[in-house]
């Protein structure tokens, strides 16, 4: 059952990404959601950010004439002691009329059952950032700035100021 759920999720979201179907993606992806490659990490915290991410990924795929964005489950199982969480591994292929246009790469994903629906909560890929640039450099840099600001306490990158009573 976990294998089938994982594969169904991959199929639905892959098709929705290629079609630019944000409504379907938002039904299957929990927010906040983290996506990462070997060296990049992007977190979507709201539907508007997910829309930017999906639009960017779709534009990159279409620029390469991708007609099939195929992700195939290798293994998936429930997390021990957590019946509402599945983790798995898969491989990703991007094809143009049956011909690979990007190197195949491996990925892993965690899904949680939230309000009765299985939703992806994080996605990690072994994509080579030089060969598989699914997100534009501008978007990644903006996301990195936001992440650094959150981690350091503010948009200036400086720790938060202490009030007089602290």
Mind listing the pLDDT tens digit of every residue in the chain (166 residues)?
999 999 999 999 999 999 999 999 999 999 999 888 877 788 888 999 899 888 888 988 999 999 999 999 999 999 999 999 999 999 999 999 999 998 899 999 999 999 999 999 999 988 765 444 555 555 566 666 655 665 665 544 444 444 444 4
Q: Domain spanning 2-150: which CATH class is it, in words?
A: alpha beta
Q: Which of 15, 17, 75, 8 is nearest to 51 (CA)?
A: 17
What residue segments make up the domains of the chain, in order of their start?
2-150
For residue 139, the model assigns a pLDDT of 58
Helix (H, G, I), strand (E, B) or coil at 46: coil
Phi-psi region of 98 (alpha: psi -120 to 50; beta: other; left: phi over 0): left
Structure tokens at 25: 């993606």
Q: Which of 120, 11, 126 is nearest to 69 (CA)?
A: 11
pLDDT value at position 155?
47
Q: Are 62 and 154 in contact (CB under 8 A)?
A: no
Rounded to a whole number, what is the distance in angstroms from the first to the last CA of the chain?
53
Alpha carbon distances (Å) from 42 to 14, 63, 84, 142? 18, 21, 24, 9
Q: What is the pLDDT of residue 148?
A: 63
Q: Would you say 40 and 141 are in contact if contact means Cβ atoms under 8 Å apart?
A: no
**Residues 81, 98: Cα–Cα separation, whole Å:** 41
In whole angstroms, give the CA distance from residue 77 to residue 108. Answer: 12
Q: Is 115 helix (H, G, I), strand (E, B) or coil?
A: coil
CA 77 from centroid of its chain's CA atoms:
19
């Amino acid at each position: 059952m976990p294998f089938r759920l994982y594969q169904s999720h991959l199929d639905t979201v892959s098709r929705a990404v290629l079609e630019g179907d944000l409504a379907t993606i938002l039904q299957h992806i929990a927010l906040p959601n983290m996506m990462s490659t070997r060296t990049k990490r992007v977190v979507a915290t709201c539907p508007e950010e997910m829309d930017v991410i999906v639009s960017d990924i779709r534009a990159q795929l279409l620029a390469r004439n991708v007609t099939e964005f195929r992700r195939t489950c290798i293994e998936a199982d429930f997390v021990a002691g957590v019946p509402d969480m599945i983790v798995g591994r898969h491989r990703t292929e991007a094809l143009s009329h049956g011909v690979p246009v990007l190197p195949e790469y491996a990925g892993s994903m965690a899904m949680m059952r939230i309000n009765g629906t299985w939703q992806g909560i994080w996605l990690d890929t072994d994509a080579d950032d030089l060969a598989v640039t699914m997100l534009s450099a501008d978007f990644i840099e903006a996301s990195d700035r936001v992440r650094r600001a959150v981690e350091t306490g503010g948009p200036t990158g400086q720790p938060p100021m202490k009030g007089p009573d602290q």
